[in-house]
Structure 1
Amino acid sequence: MTDDTMMGRMRRILVSAIRLLKVPNDNPELTLAQFGAFSKQVPLLYFILGTNMLSLAWTHQGTAPAALVTYVPAFLVLVFFARSLIWLKSRKVSRTAEQAYRQLRATNILSFPIAVVCTLWALSVLPYGDAYQRAHVAFFMAITVIGCIFSLMHLRSAAMMVTVTVTIPFFVAMCLTGEPTFIATGINVILVTIPMIMILLDQYRDFRTLNESRHVLLQQQKALQDQNKAMQALSDENLRLANLDTLTQLANRRSFFQMLERAFARARQSGERLAVGVIDLDGFKPVNDMYGHAAGDKVLAEIGLRLGGITESRLTVYRLGGDEFALLLEGDASEGRVTALGQTICDLIANRINIGSGLVQVTASVGFAIYPDVGGSGQEIYERADYALYTAKRRHRAGSVIFNAVQADELTRQKIVEDAMIAADLERELYLVYQPISHADDLSCTGYEALARWQSPRIGSVSPAEFIPVAEHNGRITMMTRILLERALAVAANWPKDVYLSFNLSPHDLSSPDNCLKIVAIVLKSGFNPARINFEVTETAIMHDFEQASASIQLLRELGAGIALDDFGTGFSSLNHVHKLPLTKIKIDGSFVRNIHQRKTSYKIVKSVLALSADMELDAIAEGVETLEELQVLRALGVSSVQGYYVSKPITAEETFAQTPAEMPLVRIS
């Protein structure tokens, strides 16, 4: 082996030895663990040193000098006591890894002089006394070594330093006595110390490994906790999104019905009132049709912002879908407060909205129902609020309606009608009457409008105003349309060839290509000339789905049939529809005709409509003519055709066969 190799090995041994005598600072968690365990054992170490020293001093009283066995032990015991108090207090103070390292390092440094002082003191006492007293010194040295090793096992460097500092001088001193017993004792201590040091190193290694494993486990637990927190946060976010309308940032339909049942349960238990409101926008679909869905989304987002900004106490707002919103008002849900809230909502929504490319305006109709005035469950209150909304849209558009006794009677009647319709044989119970459409100048008949009637064996005669909305609601309207169209075509086949059939279509008849194709098939199968058919569609039917309705109307025009826009002037975008649709006629709503000779506003409206129809080469038919004065004003304005009770009430099919255009009018006109 070369000298360089030997030097290298010795250098490594020296470095390893120095490392054993230094406090490690490469693992903050280990440092804190060392400090925690060591702080509990240091007071015990000082207790061992102090009691052993006092015992040895006591046995040497009168033999060794007083300064050596009285003053020095007393001073050292006081130091040990003070250090013990310091360590006991430090156990209650939270420390960082750096602070713990500094205190361990200070203790490691201090352990050497303490070991030296204790060793020198014991060796100074050794020459005094008899064999028993000297044996006590040997015992003191041995038990001190063992106590130090075990007490300092969590601070390996200090344990090694104290062991070496005490053991080697003790062994030398024992050998120098020349006494075989003391020499054997020195050798015995050395031999016992070596395995104890090995045990110390193993214990320290196990302590370090255990701490590292604990640290890894804690990291894994923390990672698992973080993962659980992340999963919980994700779950909470998913739940929030599941109950949130992302466009308006309002709670959605799912959230509304959940909160409705909870609010109802609270109201029933506490005796408080609860109001449910349903809001529907008027004129929203034309915005979508004219400006596109992006503009419609801006409108909905702005409406959501306005509704969400209402500062009423215990009021929550929801978006149910489309252009429909809902609200819950708990606590003080008096009729006065609900009415005021409805007006606030209508006023807020009616303000114009900037969509970027211009300003648009929509209005809102609102229906309310108040518990405990009505409803035995949350769902029932909602249904009654929805019916109040239906009433508002029919009679108080852009206003609010609170569900009341009149509507309760209407709803009860509606359910009776619906039950009767479900059980009805519609092919047998439905029939048609026909109202003449006449020239305004001589009242000669140019056509008949087929009007549906229902005679129920269970509830008697049912008005179209009652059964048609029910049929539209339960999906039977398209079946009724096909039944009645076949009958109307069969009747019209017997009319003179210059008399046309006017037939009403519902929104559902135009809502799908399949429904429209079935209507076309019925016309073609009948053999009736499509040019003699005039299909009447309402603006409501068109607004239901403008694109599909427009496609269906175009198909009927290609068939050869005419298209009349019924109830013109009562909708929100009539002019827009007139320009976009292939119409052939406009029917002026009877509300504008009634008392036109006395109402200047109606006169101006009808005059404007006639000018528009003339400009677009469309025929104009005035509905609801009931007096001679109304007819005379319409004639003066240039109306081409009229329809109403003044000319004729609806008549049966047989009566249409008995009349000819030459025999019209059906009533005398003076």
Structure 2
Amino acid sequence: MSVPGHQTGETVSRTMRERLIEPIARLWGLPDDPDLLHAQHRAFSRQVPLMYVILMTNTWALAATHIAHAPAWITIGVPVVMTLFTGLRIAMWWRQRGGQVTPELARAELSRTLKLAFVISLSFAVWSLSLYGYGTAYTRAHVAFYMAITVISCIFCLMHLRPAGLTVAVIVNGLFVGFFISSGEPTFIASAVNVGLVSLAMLIILNINYNHFTHMVQAQAEAVALGNENFRLANLDSLTDLPNRRAFFARLAEAYDSPAQDRFLAVGILDLDGFKPVNDAFGHGVGDRLLQEVSRRLEAACAPHGIFLARLGGDEFAFLLTSKASEEDCLAWGQEVCDVLSRHFSLAGTVVQISGSLGIATQHHHIHSPQDLMYRADYALYQAKRGQRGSVVMFSEAHNDEIRRHAVIEQALRSADLESELKVLFQPIVDVRTEQAIGFEALARWVSPTLGPVSPGEFIPVAERGGFVSRLTTILLKKALETATAWPAPLRLSFNLSAQDLSSPENLLRITAVIGQSAFDPRRLDLEITETAFAFDPAQVRRSVLQLRDLGCGISIDDFGTGYSSLSRLHSLPLTKLKIDRSFIARIEQDAASHNIVRSLIALSRDMKLDCVIEGVETAGELEVLRELGGVLVQGYFYSPPVEADALAGCLSRFDQTRAATMGEAGLKAS
């Protein structure tokens, strides 16, 4: 049976003991803080050798004054032993200066020092007092002076290790004060009291300095921790908790600068396909959750291979592969990543489908810097998005040749006399019901004095990547409008705009100025834009389209069906035409999927009350299928290749002759 009163008494007694013991333990114990232990060890390693030097200098000075009066074992033997011991301690501490010291090693060394402080202080105090009985009054005064000045010096040297300083002060001063007070000599008694008071003041100063030292170390540790946290946050993407762009480039530079022997280095850049439509249709909240889920899937794909993953920004991610692998391994892993992203995502009750295009480059392709590696990976990504989205492309020597070719083209473009070197060809757009051209599409051509004819499929993308395509647009549009001014009123002009032409107010202002200065009626002008234009700045593109519609221009979506535009975005734009890409026409006679896609797109344009132009018609069989599907406006080599401006009259004449012949055949059949 328990006694409550007894338990309460035990608790109170235990609490009182803890209150008494804890302050003593703090004074004579080592701290638990590893940073403070390390700082004490570092400071102590610089001061301990000095303390031992002072101690032995004073010891030999005292021994020298007693050699004539005391036995040799006291005046020579004991100091020699003490000198050997302190010499070993000096060597040990000197060897540890500047070395790597763990908190465990620091605690062990400081704990050993505390034990030795007791032994050394007691040994030196007893040895010095043992000399008091020998010699004269002067040598006895020297003993008192030795003990007083040595203990003060040691306290100074031990200020960063408070328990050792307290131990030395208590032992040496305790023996000193007790011994000399008991001597009965007034001078020694006064000296003992004086040294005791000075030592007490020294201990107070030691405690104050130790507390300041402790606070300084703690402040430094907090500053380092804060700096580390700031560094972590500065290198972390707040949305996905992945390393960010800064962290990726730092890791890439570190990996690139590592020793070249047996080094494997590859960079992958991934861009999400279809992310912007999801963001636009469902809002930024769903878009953010989609990015987080994508990050988790990518982390799961990277973890087994030790691949460093980072988010570069937006819907772009980067990978750093440093483990040994072949290009085939990289491609297999890249396809695995693309397959993982192609599976649907369930987000807050919404199911979305996207994909990811991935470009990979390894160190083998004449890499001279980390930037070269990134550029090649980005180029491989560009090829993946231009070819088959949702796939992986490995940078190859063929790509390297393309880069060199494009670099030459870019330099030639930048130094070219574009006004004289650029020209415009025209390809008719035909109404299959009347077999008449209802207009012409302007197509750019460039003949370089140094390179010869360069395909627009080469120089237009180069100009876009170089950021100066709007210069070409302005010149080509002006030339096209000058030619079209002489056309009869029903004929329309179609002209392609780059995404960059619509993505800035300055570029659009130049285009509207060219249209305004032309004598061609803007209501007969159709400006074609691609779906990828919306990837730049959807809001700015919409403003540009509205401004062009205010001029009276028609707006066509070029290559419709090959991009990722949402129907809601198309409904929000004042479009007048859709253009179906040649890629769907090439196999329309054999491929049921292409047949169904074209039929759906024609029906969509009809439902949206838009004209539909079908590009790339090259055979009579393709034309017949399109007629059956309800296609009206077609364009392609079946009717005419692109022709020079001075050949347009002949082209129109051929259409008139064809129409007359068709009407004649129809009349004969009717008769």
Secondary structure of 2:528 counterpart:
strand
Structure 2 CA distance, aligned partners of 1:158 and 1:553? 98
Report the more deviating stretch, 445-454 or 578-587: 578-587
Determine if contact 1:485/1:503 at 8 Å carries over to the other structure.
yes
Q: Which residue of 1 aligns with 2:201?
A: 209
Summarize deviations over 1:478-506 as a string: whole Å, max 9, x none. Answer: 11111111111111110010001101010
By how many angstroms is 1:217 displaced?
Answer: 0.7
Residue matched to 2:398: 406
Cα distance in 2 for residues equivalent to 1:390 and 1:25: 72
1:665 CA displacement: 7.1
Q: Does 1:262 align with 2:257?
A: no
How far, CA to CA, are the matches of 2:26 and 2:434 in structure 1? 111
Q: Report the Cα distance in structure 2 between the residues aligned to 1:422 and 1:608, rounded to whole angstroms.
A: 43
Residues 1:500 and 2:484 aligned together? no
Distance 1:26 1:158 in 2: 26
Q: 1:280 to 1:664 in 2, by over 3 A?
A: farther
Is structure 2 residue 299 aligned with structure 1 residue 308? yes
From 322, 329, 333, the counterpart of 1:337: 329
Whichever of the two has the greater Rg, that structure is 1
- Between 1:605-614 and 1:297-306, the stretch displaced more is 297-306
Deviation at 1:338, TM superposition (A): 0.6
What does the per-residue CA deviation read over 1:201-221, in whole Å, with 9 as the maximum and x for residues that have no partner?
A: 333222222111111111111
Distance 2:617 2:26 in 1: 100
Q: Does 1:379 align with 2:365?
A: no
Q: Shift in Å at residue 654 of structure 1?
A: 1.2
Q: How much has 1:543 moved relative to structure 2?
A: 2.4
Q: How many angstroms apart in 1 are the aligned matches of 2:169 and 2:652?
A: 124
Q: 1:202 to 1:666 in 2, by over 3 A?
A: farther
Q: 1:209 to 1:326 in 2, by over 3 A?
A: same
Question: Which shows bigger deviation, 273-282 or 583-592?
Answer: 273-282
Segment of structure 1 superposing worse, 520-529 or 425-434:
520-529
Q: What CA distance in whole angstroms lies between the structure 2 residues aligned with 1:641 and 1:544?
A: 30
The 2-side partners of 1:657 and 1:467 are apart by: 29
Name the counterpart of 2:273.
282
Pick from 243, 247, 255: which aligns with 1:251?
A: 243
Residues 647 and 665 of structure 1 are in contact (CA less than 8 Å); yes or no, is this contact kept in structure 2?
no
Contact 1:374 1:381 in 2 (8 A): no
1:541 aligns with 2:525: no
- Identical residues among aligned pairs (%): 41
Cα deviations across residues 412-464 of structure 1 (Å, max 9, x unaligned)? 21112112112211111111000101102232010110011111001000000
- AA aligned to 1:534 is D
Query: Aligned equivalents of 1:229 and 1:540: distance in 2?
Result: 52
Shift of 1:354: 3.3
Displacement of 1:408:
2.2
CA distance in structure 2 between the partners assigned to 1:441 and 1:525 by the alignment? 35
SS in 2 for 1:497: coil
Cα deviation, residue 648, structure 1: 0.8
Distance 2:633 2:21 in 1: 105
Give CA deviations for 1:325-354 in whole Å, capped at 9, x if unaligned.
111112322022111110111022222233
Answering whether residue 650 of structure 2 is matched by residue 650 of structure 1, we say: no
CA distance in structure 2 between the aligned counterparts of 1:664 and 1:519, rounded to whole angstroms: 34
1:351 corresponds to: 343
- Counterpart for residue 464 of structure 2: 472
Q: Deviations over 1:97-152 (max 9, x none)?
A: xxxxxxxxxxxxxxxxxxxxxxxxxxxxxxxxxxxxxxxxxxxxx99xx99x9999
- Aligned mates of 1:391, 1:303 — CA distance in 2: 22
Q: Report the counterpart of residue 563 of structure 2 in structure 1.
A: 571
Taking the aligned partners of 1:353 and 1:473, their CA distance within structure 2 comes to 33
Check conservation: 1:30, 1:211, Cα contact below 8 A: no
Alpha-carbon RMSD? 3.7
- Alignment-mate amino acid for residue 226 of structure 2: L
Asked if the contact 1:154/1:204 (under 8 Å) is kept, the reply is no
Q: Deviations over 1:215-267 (max 9, x none)?
A: 1111111111112112222222232233222222222222322322332333x
Q: Which amino acid aligns with 2:529?
A: V
Give the letter aligned to residue 547 of structure 1: A
Q: Any residues of structure 2 matched to 1:129-148 within 5 Å, and which?
A: none
Query: Among 450, 454, 458, which residue is 2:446 paired with?
Result: 454
Task: State whether structure 2 residue 618 is matched by structure 1 residue 615.
Answer: no
Structure 1 residues 160 and 450: alpha-carbon distance in aligned structure 2, compared to 1, 3 A threshold = closer
In structure 1, what is the Cα distance between the partners aligned to 2:28 and 2:233?
Answer: 45
SS at match of 1:522: helix
Task: Report SS of the residue matched to 2:400.
Answer: helix
Change (3 A) 1:207 1:604: same
Q: Say which SS state the counterpart of residue 331 (structure 1) adopts.
A: coil
Which sits farther off after the overlay, 231-240 or 316-325?
231-240
Q: Distance in 2 between matches of 1:639 and 1:321?
A: 43
Q: State the distance in 2 between where 1:94 and 1:161 align.
A: 23
Judge conservation of contact 1:625–1:643 (CA < 8 Å) in 2. Answer: yes
Alignment of 1:3-14 (within 5 A): none
Give the distance between the partners of 1:285 and 1:554, measured in 2 at CA.
Answer: 21
Contact 2:180/2:192, CA 8 A, preserved across alignment: no
Q: Given that residues 618 and 636 in structure 2 are in contact (C-alpha distance below 8 angstroms), is that contact kept between their aligned partners in structure 1?
A: yes
Show the counterpart of 2:389: 397
- The answer for the alignment partner of 1:103 in structure 2 is none
Structure 2 residue 612 is the aligned partner of structure 1 residue 587: no
Residue 575 of structure 2 aligns with an amino acid whose one-letter code is: L
Distance 1:645 1:27, change over 3 A: closer
TM-score by length of 1: 0.71
1:326 aligns with 318
- Equivalent residue of 2:319, what SS? strand
Q: What does 1:207-246 align with in structure 2 at a 5 Å threshold?
A: 207-246=199-238
Q: CA deviation at 1:277?
A: 1.2
The answer to whether the 8 Å contact 1:445/1:661 transfers is no
Alignment deviations for residues 540-597 of structure 1 (CA, whole Å, 9 cap, x no partner): 1122221111111111111111111111111123523322211111111111122323
1:299 maps to which residue?
290
Deviations 1:168-227 (A, max 9, x none): xxxxxxxxxxxxxxxxxxxxx4xx44x654443333222222111111111111111112
Q: Deviations over 1:333-391 (max 9, x none)?
A: 20221111101110222222333251222211111122225534332222222211111
Structure 1: 4+ residue segments shifted above 3 A: 24-33, 91-95, 149-164, 195-202, 657-670
Secondary structure class of the residue paired with 2:320: strand
Identify if the C-alpha distance between structure 1 residues 203 and 497 changes in structure 2 by more than 3 Å, giving closer, same or farther: same
C-alpha distance 664-200 of structure 1, shift in aligned 2 (>3 A): farther
What do the CA deviations read for 1:631-650 (whole angstroms, capped 9, x no partner)?
Answer: 11111221121101101111
CA distance in 1, matches of 2:507, 2:27: 82
3-state SS in 1 of match to 2:453: strand
Determine the structure 1 residue equivalent to 2:511.
Answer: 519
**Aligned AA for 1:349?**
L
Segments of structure 2 that go 5 or more residues without pairing to the other structure are: 1-19, 30-110, 116-139, 152-167, 666-671
**Structure 1 stretch 215-224 or stretch 444-453: which is displaced more?**
215-224
Q: Is the Cα contact below 8 Å between 1:289 and 1:546 reproduced in 2?
A: no
Distance 2:176 2:641 in 1: 119
Distance of aligned partners of 1:219 and 1:545 in 2 relative to their CA distance in 1, 3 Å threshold: same
1:435 counterpart SS class: strand
Q: Is the 8 A contact 1:350 1:362 kept in 2?
A: yes
In the comparison of the two structures, how many residue pairs are matched? 525
Q: Does 1:604 align with 2:604?
A: no
The offset of 1:31, in angstroms, is 7.2
What is the deviation of 1:401? 1.0
Paired residues of 1:153 and 1:159 also in contact (CA < 8 A): no
Q: Partner of 1:482 in structure 2?
A: 474
Mapped to 2, the partners of 1:665 and 1:279 lie a distance apart of 54
Q: Is the 8 A contact 1:435 1:450 kept in 2?
A: yes
Name whichever of 516-525 and 366-375 sits farther off.
366-375
Q: Distance in 2 between matches of 1:162 and 1:374?
A: 84
**1:512-555 Cα distance to aligned partner (Å, 9 max, x none):** 12222221221111132111010001001122221111111111
